[in-house]
Structure 1
Amino acid sequence: MGRLVYWIAINAHCSLLYKTMDPSCEPSSLPFAFLLSIENMGSTLCLFMFMRFLLLVSSFYPMVANSSSFMQQPLCHDSERSALLQFKQSFLIDGHASGDPSAYPKVAMWKSHGEGEEGSDCCSWDGVECDRETGHVIGLHLASSCLYGSINSNSTLFSLVHLRRLDLSDNDFNYSQIPFGVGQLSRLRSLDLSSDRFAGQIPSELLALSKLVFLNLSANPMLQLQKPGLRYLVQNLTHLKELHLRQVNISSTIPHELANLSSLRTLFLRECGLHGEFPMNIFQLPSLQFLSVRYNPDLIGYLPEFQETSPLKLLYLSGTSFSGELPTSIGRLGSLTKLDISSCNFTGLVPSPLGHLSQLSYLDLSNNFFSGQIPSSMANLTRLTFLDLSLNNLEGGIPTSLFELVNLQYLSVADNSLNGTVELNRLSLLGYTRTNVTLPKFKLLGLDSCNLTEFPDFLQNQDELEVLFLSDNKIHGPIPKWMWNISQENLESLDLSGNLLTGFNQHPVVLPWSKLSILELDSNMLQGPLPIPPPSTIEYYSVSRNKLIGEISPLICNMSSLILLDLSSNNLSGRIPQCLANLSKSLFILDLGSNNLDGPIPQTCTVPNNLRVIDLGENQFQGQIPRSFANCMMLEHLVLGNNQIDDIFPFWLGALPQLQVLILRSNRFHGAIGSWHSNFRFPKLRIVDLSDNKFIGDLPSEYFQNWDAMKLTDIANDLRYMQARPKFQIPGYTWTIPYMYSMIMTNRGMQRFYEKILDIFIAIDFSGNNFKRQIPTSIGNLKGLHLLNLGSNNLTGHIPSSIGNLTQLESLDLSQNQLSGEIPLQLSRITFLAFFNVSHNHLTGPIPQGKQFTTFPNASFDGNSGLCGSPLSRACGSFEASPPTSSSSKQGSTSEFDWKFVLM
């Protein structure tokens, strides 16, 4: 009887397990094994084991109950389902709103009761996470969900007060502000609003969410963290473990309080406009593993003495003003996998202890001031895949052991003072191109600046190449036909720029490399029609500075992945295909300048996009500026000079928050500029050229009063240029290829091509129009000006003495006007003034003496019969220049009464 009861209990137990938790438990096999062992036991032992089994069964029932509860968790609350549905209905579904190729509208399948019972439980909806016990919505995961619209502070989203995790990244909120209603989500621990096209100041309500452990607002370059700023965030969010603010406009110093966040594991502050000194004790945070402050050029700092306990895995300082020597203690960072300190101001030797970093896979020390030899200890870095030591005064030979690093995929030691010969499998790269040696199949081959005069013949046997660099050589003549056959299925990046190539032995409509992503053919002598790369893969296409002719093929509009398109400085003609507007939002650079293109400018920016540069200058475009340009919210550089555009002043471009350069010179613009408006304020405009048009009316005094970016007088420690830095990724490789902004502008009386533009350069050229009346005194507010040209207008009245406040001014042209009165003495304090022209006006009185005025020639003052004094031959006689009175200072010259008094 005992055996029977035990068998039933065991069988029941196993059957229950099988049904609820463990599919590997098979009840049909267990009873026999247990019965066999029981038959060999005494009754006492049998009873004892039976009692223990009963205890086991009784303890199992709570587990069963919990499992049953899990299987029957409560449905979501009606109020929260309703809130989610209303939140869904506040957006449009737009495939262009998300950049992730795997994006899809997660909210599309959310249903209400009336749309069918199946799927009406919001806890089963895609992207919705509920509490297993209460049924409350505690997580909303809608990254890359193709949402387009904006979120108001009264959105039903903020009624989901139990939310702990909210991820809305990679959607398009149309440059709206982050709503202050987010402060109602007081239980949030994780918030991700990255890549969402938010704009404006981050609300203080968000910065007060004290339970946040994870915060990501990255890739929202129009977002500001200023009032309140970073210090306020750090003081409130004391539990942070991860803080991502890449490309958020912070424009401040880094608060020392950041070093108090003892739990901080990740800190990403790339491209935030940070300045001042980086607090060194942040490096000592006990949990910090990932630190990036890249591309903050005004951020200075030094590396500390590192401890072996440091958990740092990633350290990115590139593009900052960090300086000093690299401490030998950096060899203690045993967990470090990536180190990028390129484009800084580091000096001294490359320390040998770098070779102790056994986990290091990425090392970039380029563009610094390192000296001495490459330490042989680097041969110990067996995990390295990327090593860049270029652009440093380094010397000696390249350690041959570097070529034995089996994982190394990228190596650059260019632009140093290294010597010796490098041989790869007995192939010497010293200009000799023919060899009978059997070579390995390369994947990346860089032969830049090797003094080559023809294509190396061994390339004909390379069918696995992914990256081929042959730039800045002396390869001449046509590209041979056999080049089209190499690595057709593999080649992803090809650089032939800076050679003497004249064309193609054949003219394929579409180039043959099916995976080609980057094609650089610029600065050659290529003739014939425009070659077309494979449209489905190309991201970077540059053929500038060649001799290409013909029209732009409509096939170019199929290049759906384009980030940069540069066809400038050729002889292309005809109209731009209208389908150009269909190019994807990924396009950063559009440069078609210096060709013979004509017709109307196509509508651009019809969908949300990333355009930083539109350069259509030096062509023959007609008509008006497309009003769709107002949607180019990331635009920094707009060049339309020297065309036949017939339009009024495009005041509406003043709504573009990032616009820095506006070149409209030599067109047919007309009418008055009009009044400044707070919605169209050109907040970052630094260079504006309206010269040689038909503008009339007064100079725009209100603009002069409010162009804030022109009031900056800070001078950077080193020279930097205005540029875009789009990133290009192909499998296994990542490049950031700088694109330098360029323009044509008149400076010091001569037309000049600026191949690069210093980022401190601030200029106004309104010359060659029909502006009238006085020069407004408000122009003296623009203290950062380097160039001011108001020549060849119809301006009257006095030269305002407030121009003397423009202490950075290097070129001042007021010639060919109707100006009268004296030259203000205040102008003599502009110590950087190298060019000065007030010729052909009605100026009178003595020319200011001393300082820069002793360097200006007679021609600067020609055509003013009332002027006297050096350098003119007319002496001022008995009257000398007298210090201006307070009243005359305001007028810019001495009054008529004053002069009569002096003559008496």
Structure 2
Amino acid sequence: MTNKGMERVYPKIPHSFKAIDLSSNKFTGEIPKSIGKLGGLHLLNISSNSLTEGEREGSDCCSWDGVECDRETGHVIGLHLASSCLYGSINSSSTLFSLVHLQRLDLSDNDFNYSEIPFGVGQLSRLRSLDLSFSGFSGQIPSELLALSKLVFLDLSANPKLQLQKPGLRNLVQNLTHLKKLHLSQVNISSTIPYELASLSSLTSLFLGECGLHGEFPMKIFQLPSLQYLTVRDNLDLISYLPEFQETSPLKMLDLAGTSFSGELPTSIGRLGSLTELDISSCNFTGSVPSSLGHLTQLYYLDLSNNHFSLYLLSNYLNGTVELQLLSKLKNLIYLQLSDNRLSFLSYTRTNATLPKFKHLGLGSCNLTEFPDFLQNQHELEIITLSENKIHGPIPKWVWNISKETLVTLELSENFLTGFDQRPFVLPWSKLHTLRLDSNMLQGPLPVPPPSTVEYLVSGNKLTGEISPLICNMTSLELLDLSSNNLSGRIPQCLANFSRSLFVLDLGSNSLDGPIPEICTVSHNLNVIDLGDNQFQGQIPRSLVNCTMLEHLVLGNNKINDIFPFWLGALPQLQVLILRSNRFHGAIGSWHTNFRFPKLRIIDLSDNEFIGDLPSEYFQNWDAMKLTDIASGLRYMQISPMIDLKNNVMITGYMYSMTMTNKGMQRFYERILDTFMAIDFSGNNFKGQIPTSIGSLKGIHLLNLGGNDLTGHIPSSLGNLTQLESLDLSQNKLSGEIPWQLTRLTFLEFFNVSHNHLTGHIPQGKQFATFENASFDGNLGLCGSPLSRECGSSEALPPTSSSSKQGSTTKFDWKIVLMGYGSGLLIGVSIGYCLTSWKHEWFVKTIGKRQRKWTRKEGRGQRG
């Protein structure tokens, strides 16, 4: 048979050998595409036929885009299909895994729809490079991948639903000993870092950012002879110190930001002559910054913020007084950032000193009581930060003349500003991107920023009047927060025009009325819509179904008159749905396959007029609430878009917030942990039994079904809700005994079954030893501690209020009753919960230093 252009005799034919030879015939037409399915062929010869030249070229897969072949053998040795719009899943029986000579496989930046990495990848035994980053894989990394012993480059990063646990990181390192580049950032590893990693002497690049790593980082990894790029950022529980560095170290990038590394920076860090990037922000480093950093002549990015250093300026613990005249000698100074310290900045009203021409001036938290006078002569400013000071009174009219042609960011939030000396019709800065006036005492109508504005925050003031239609000119707007004012009237219809840019729309806690406008008339980028605590009427607009990126929808405390919006279940990202205190009515209805609420974690339907049975099928299918193994990194729900301001990148963080009844009291959540899960159906007219299916929602922390007409027994399946902290079943018509299985709920702080028809012995031990009498009031048949009635005794209890829900009870009365049960419930909380609370407090003090709804980080150059 002819093979590779020569006629060849096969004295023995291998059993696995497969070939097709159709050469030297009179075949015409196109080569059938189905021939490509014969992936096991070793030989295909269709030469000397009547095929056109173009068709013959098309049949050679080596000429296809993304296909790399060995020039001598013709074997496919590389597939480079990055950013090729691939979608779906890959079956392990795919002919892809018949390409046994493959050495390089790149499927990065595609969408494999959260499918698993096929175990067939283990058949590609010659693979040296595998890149599956940014491709939407999920599940456990198959053990077959560990058989690829020749791998030199492995990149599985940016697949946050991918897990490397069984097998784990240790198994991977022990098997893939030839690795030079290992990139696993944003893969769920949740383990310590194995010491065997320090034995990979060929390693040049190690990316393990945001992987849930904990424990001690092996210091010998820093001393790997070939290591150039190292990041373990955003692993909060990872601890270690920096070693003494040698001049022979090839490190170019070192990123430890957001870890718990501590100690002092060694002077030897100045020996890292190749270092170009150093980020150790938001760690626990102490001491002074060594002057040897000045030896790092190749360095172009340096971030030391949010530590405990004594020479760096932003976000530290510097104290004392800074006098303006001291800056007059620094003729070339254009960037001055003193914010978030304990400094006092003295700016004399009159000074003969010639000051530098600043571009970036940060004087936040500097105990200022008035606008610094020297700003009147600053005409090149791009960023001004005067937040968190004590500036009071109106904004002087000369402020509007500062750097009209250059100003990009103006931050005046958290002061005592009351208004404007001279009210401009539209603010004058032509290049303004960010305007922050929130948390002041501003009165009068809403000021209108220029059309260039990307972020506008004016929440927490006393502004009145209607929202001007001039706001519609801000067509690049991404963040709009006008919440907690006294604005009235209707929302301008033009907000629908922001569909290409707007991420956050927060108009909550005003006096806005009328129908909710059609916000999402086309596909929308909105992540947050908060219209709660207003006077909106009518129905929820169906156009919200176009907000496919929506995660957080708050419509509580309005006058919305509608049925349950089951169609919102089609939103693939929706996590929080707050409809409390409106006029919703009717039955919730049965499960709809196309409206699954796939990511819903928090739902509040309280204080409405819903009727019918509780939605058993919904409980059964709310999969996101069944997760209990979420890594506890104390992360908060937020959106952090990056805004490119020439040479600066501003990362703006908007924290999601909500109001919800928890543990008997109405509470405002300024921040929402991304592990928090809750259901509140209280204050409605639901009837029937509590479905056992609710016991499958093992991740929920709060369950409130109080104030309904529920009957039957408390299902024992509630004992499966091991994360539950608050359970309220009061003001119903429940009967039978309290299930002993509820004693399994070791995190339970608040328990209320008052005003029902319950009987029998109250379960004893564990959390039940902490609950007071009020938790069981109005159940004449209950006995045992903490009640005074002993079991077996015929002694009657004092008369109590009716156990049924009274039609004359107002919603206001109901809230007062709940608030009465909010104290004295912290005794006996389990050790696990105490540790969680301690960790949360530490995190807020150390990392989340400022309890603000908005946070900002500025850095040189774009940071991934």
Normalising by the smaller structure, the TM-score range is: 0.7 to 0.9
1:690-746 CA deviation, whole Å, 9 max, x = no partner? Answer: 111122221122332333332333475653322223222222222333222211001
Amino acid at match of 1:836: F
**Alpha-carbon offset, residue 567 of structure 1:** 1.9
Rate the CA distance shift 1:679–1:463 in 2: closer, same or farther, 3 A. Answer: same
Matched, 1:177 2:88: yes
Say whether the 8 Å CA contact 1:780–1:805 is kept in structure 2. yes
**Alpha-carbon offset, residue 814 of structure 1:** 0.9
Amino acid at match of 1:855: T
* Residue 491 of structure 2, aligned match among 576, 581, 584: 576
Say whether the 8 Å CA contact 1:841–1:863 is kept in structure 2. yes
The structure with the largest helix share of the pair is 1
Say whether the 8 Å CA contact 2:226–2:250 is kept in structure 1. yes
Say whether the 8 Å CA contact 1:842–1:865 is kept in structure 2. yes
1:544 matched to which residue of 2? 459
Where 1:622 maps in the other structure, the secondary structure is strand
For 1:217-232, what aligned pairs fall within 5 Å after superposition? 223-226=136-139, 229=141, 232=144
For 1:626 and 1:80, locate their aligned partners in 2 and report how far apart those are by CA, in whole Å. Answer: 54
- Larger relative contact order (C-alpha < 8 A, sep ≥ 6)? 2
Say whether the 8 Å CA contact 1:388–1:413 is kept in structure 2. no
When structure 1 is superposed on structure 2, of 411-420 and 449-458 the one drifting more is 411-420
For 1:14-163, what aligned pairs fall within 5 Å after superposition? 137-139=63-65
Where 2:64 maps in the other structure, the secondary structure is strand
1:294 matched to which residue of 2? 209
For 1:727 and 1:431, locate their aligned partners in 2 and report how far apart those are by CA, in whole Å. Answer: 30
For 1:386 and 1:301, locate their aligned partners in 2 and report how far apart those are by CA, in whole Å. Answer: 26
For 1:434-473, what aligned pairs fall within 5 Å after superposition? 434=348, 435-473=351-389
**Alpha-carbon offset, residue 276 of structure 1:** 2.3
For 2:57 and 2:404, locate their aligned partners in 1 and report how far apart those are by CA, in whole Å. Answer: 54
> Which blocks of at least 5 consecutive residues in structure 2 are unaligned?
1-27, 35-52, 68-75, 331-337, 796-864
Say whether the 8 Å CA contact 1:630–1:652 is kept in structure 2. yes
When structure 1 is superposed on structure 2, of 324-333 and 281-290 the one drifting more is 281-290
**Alpha-carbon offset, residue 774 of structure 1:** 1.0
* Residue 204 of structure 1, aligned match among 99, 103, 118: 118
Matched, 1:504 2:420: yes
**Alpha-carbon offset, residue 663 of structure 1:** 1.2
For 2:581 and 2:468, locate their aligned partners in 1 and report how far apart those are by CA, in whole Å. Answer: 28
**Alpha-carbon offset, residue 678 of structure 1:** 4.7
For 1:885-896, what aligned pairs fall within 5 Å after superposition? none
Amino acid at match of 2:158: R
**Alpha-carbon offset, residue 389 of structure 1:** 3.1
How does the TM-score come out when normalised to structure 2? 0.74
**Alpha-carbon offset, residue 639 of structure 1:** 1.6
Say whether the 8 Å CA contact 1:191–1:212 is kept in structure 2. no
Rate the CA distance shift 1:179–1:851 in 2: closer, same or farther, 3 A. Answer: closer
**Alpha-carbon offset, residue 267 of structure 1:** 5.0
**Alpha-carbon offset, residue 495 of structure 1:** 1.8
For 1:770-809, what aligned pairs fall within 5 Å after superposition? 770-809=685-724
Say whether the 8 Å CA contact 1:261–1:285 is kept in structure 2. no
Say whether the 8 Å CA contact 1:306–1:332 is kept in structure 2. no
Matched, 1:611 2:523: no
Say whether the 8 Å CA contact 1:328–1:351 is kept in structure 2. yes
Rate the CA distance shift 1:715–1:842 in 2: closer, same or farther, 3 A. Answer: same
For 1:551 and 1:235, locate their aligned partners in 2 and report how far apart those are by CA, in whole Å. Answer: 66
For 1:639 and 1:333, locate their aligned partners in 2 and report how far apart those are by CA, in whole Å. Answer: 57
Where 2:65 maps in the other structure, the secondary structure is strand
Matched, 1:742 2:657: yes
Say whether the 8 Å CA contact 1:673–1:697 is kept in structure 2. yes
Where 1:488 maps in the other structure, the secondary structure is coil
Rate the CA distance shift 1:346–1:163 in 2: closer, same or farther, 3 A. Answer: closer
Amino acid at match of 2:383: V
For 2:748 and 2:782, locate their aligned partners in 1 and report how far apart those are by CA, in whole Å. Answer: 20
- How many residue pairs match? The answer is 721
For 2:384 and 2:198, locate their aligned partners in 1 and report how far apart those are by CA, in whole Å. Answer: 39
How does the TM-score come out when normalised to structure 1? 0.71
Where 2:191 maps in the other structure, the secondary structure is strand
* Residue 683 of structure 1, aligned match among 598, 601, 605: 598
For 1:133 and 1:177, locate their aligned partners in 2 and report how far apart those are by CA, in whole Å. Answer: 26
2:157 matched to which residue of 1? 245
For 1:600-679, what aligned pairs fall within 5 Å after superposition? 600-679=515-594
Say whether the 8 Å CA contact 2:322–2:346 is kept in structure 1. no
1:868 matched to which residue of 2? 783
Rate the CA distance shift 1:491–1:136 in 2: closer, same or farther, 3 A. Answer: same
Rate the CA distance shift 1:785–1:330 in 2: closer, same or farther, 3 A. Answer: farther
For 1:850 and 1:828, locate their aligned partners in 2 and report how far apart those are by CA, in whole Å. Answer: 7
2:625 matched to which residue of 1? 710
Rate the CA distance shift 1:192–1:871 in 2: closer, same or farther, 3 A. Answer: closer
Where 1:305 maps in the other structure, the secondary structure is helix
Where 1:737 maps in the other structure, the secondary structure is strand
1:385-432 CA deviation, whole Å, 9 max, x = no partner? Answer: 5443333344xx42xxxxxxxxxxxx6442336778695446997331
For 1:545 and 1:237, locate their aligned partners in 2 and report how far apart those are by CA, in whole Å. Answer: 59
Where 1:484 maps in the other structure, the secondary structure is helix
Say whether the 8 Å CA contact 1:280–1:304 is kept in structure 2. no
For 1:464 and 1:755, locate their aligned partners in 2 and report how far apart those are by CA, in whole Å. Answer: 36
Q: What percent of counterpart residues are identical?
A: 57
For 1:289-368, what aligned pairs fall within 5 Å after superposition? 289-297=204-212, 302-306=217-221, 310-330=225-245, 334-368=249-283
For 1:216 and 1:574, locate their aligned partners in 2 and report how far apart those are by CA, in whole Å. Answer: 54
Rate the CA distance shift 1:863–1:225 in 2: closer, same or farther, 3 A. Answer: closer
For 1:697-846, what aligned pairs fall within 5 Å after superposition? 697-714=612-629, 719-846=634-761
For 1:275-290, what aligned pairs fall within 5 Å after superposition? 275-279=190-194, 281-282=196-197, 285=200, 288-290=203-205
Say whether the 8 Å CA contact 1:138–1:165 is kept in structure 2. no
Say whether the 8 Å CA contact 2:743–2:766 is kept in structure 1. yes
Say whether the 8 Å CA contact 2:244–2:266 is kept in structure 1. no
**Alpha-carbon offset, residue 610 of structure 1:** 3.9
Amino acid at match of 1:847: I
Matched, 1:415 2:330: no
Say whether the 8 Å CA contact 1:306–1:329 is kept in structure 2. no
When structure 1 is superposed on structure 2, of 677-686 and 666-675 the one drifting more is 677-686
For 2:253 and 2:790, locate their aligned partners in 1 and report how far apart those are by CA, in whole Å. Answer: 71
For 1:219 and 1:562, locate their aligned partners in 2 and report how far apart those are by CA, in whole Å. Answer: 28
> Which blocks of at least 5 consecutive residues in structure 1 are unaligned?
1-76, 84-120, 124-129, 142-160, 399-410, 881-904
